[in-house]
Amino acid sequence: MKRTLRHLADGREIIYFDQPGAPERVAEDTRDLPPVAAASEIRLDPLTREWVAMAAHRQTRTYKPPADLCPLCPTRPGKPSEVPEADYDVVVFENRFPSFSQNVSGEPSSVDGLGLVPTAPGRGRCEVVCFTSNHDGAFSRLSPEQVRLVVDAWADRTTALGETPGVEQVFPFENRGEEIGVTLSHPHGQIYGYPFVTPKTERMLDVARAYAQEHGRPVMGDVLAAEQKSGARVIASGEHWTAFVPPAARWPVHIQIVAHRQVPDIPSLTAEERDDFSRVYLDVLRRCEALYGRPLPYIAGWHQAPVHRDRDLGWLHLELFSVLRSKDKLKYLAGSESGMAVWINDATPEQIAERLRAAG
| Segments in the chain forming alpha helices (H) | 144-162, 199-215, 219-230, 271-291, 340, 349-358
* The predicted structure's pLDDT at residue 37: 82
130 appears as a binding residue in the annotation: no
**Which of the following CATH numbers is that of domain 2-196: 3.30.70.260, 3.30.428.10, 2.20.25.90, 3.40.50.970?**
3.30.428.10
Find the helix or strand (DSSP H, E) in which 96 lies: none
* The predicted structure's pLDDT at residue 75: 97
Measured between alpha carbons, how far is 97 from 202 in angstroms, rounded to an integer? 27
* The predicted structure's pLDDT at residue 130: 98
User: Which pTM value belongs to this model?
Assistant: 0.96
Measured between alpha carbons, how far is 334 from 282 in angstroms, rounded to an integer? 32
* The predicted structure's pLDDT at residue 268: 98
* CATH of span 200-358: 3.30.428.10
DSSP 8-state code for residue 45 = -
135 appears as a binding residue in the annotation: yes
Q: Given its phi and psi angles, is residue 242 left (phi above 0), alpha (psi -120 to 50 degrees) or beta? A: beta
288 appears as a binding residue in the annotation: no
Helix axes 144-162, 271-291, angle to 10 degrees: 120
Are the folds of 2-196 and 200-358 the same? yes
* The predicted structure's pLDDT at residue 60: 67
Residue 199 identity (one-letter amino acid): P
Let me know if 93 is exposed, middle or buried by CB neighbors in 10 A (0-12, 13-18, 19+). buried
188 is catalytic: yes
- Mean pLDDT, consecutive 10-residue stretches, the chain (360 aa), reads 97 97 95 89 97 84 78 95 97 96 94 96 97 97 98 98 97 95 93 98 98 98 98 98 98 98 98 98 98 96 98 98 94 93 95 96
- Please identify which of the residues 188, 254, 303, 317 carries the catalytic annotation: 188
Q: Give the residue extent of every domain in the chain.
A: 2-196, 200-358
240 appears as a binding residue in the annotation: no
3-state helix vs strand vs coil in the chain, percent to 5: 30, 25, 45
Measured between alpha carbons, how far is 143 from 266 in angstroms, rounded to an integer? 20
Q: Cα angle vertex 220, ends 255, 151, to 5°?
A: 55
> Does residue 301 contact residue 319 with C-beta atoms inside 8 Å?
yes
- Burial 225-263, CB ≥16 within 10 A → b, else e: eebeeeeebbbbbbebbbbbbbeebbbbbbbbbbbbebb
